[in-house]
Structure 1
């Protein structure tokens, strides 16, 4: 499972790709995250790596 620097690099690449753009669609694979799809049609201002315990 990727950790630390790998996750940060992935987040940086994603941030660069979507910088200043409106999100047309957002999908999450985990059912508990699906309510977060309401962020569609918004412009992200930052991406952060969140730590979560399963």
Structure 2
């Protein structure tokens, strides 16, 4: 149950796409939160295709 197998995880940018991008303080552009593949959270939703790759 880590980000790497979550449906909301975008591997190419190591981003969590569970919610819309949020603006950072003093930034003019919103961005997705950056996470590590081994991170986890309480809103995990398994992506069966990603889970097969790591098994």
The answer to which structure, 1 or 2, has the higher relative contact order (CA under 8 A, 6+ apart) is 2
TM-score (norm 1): 0.23
Compare the two structures and name the one with the higher strand fraction: 2
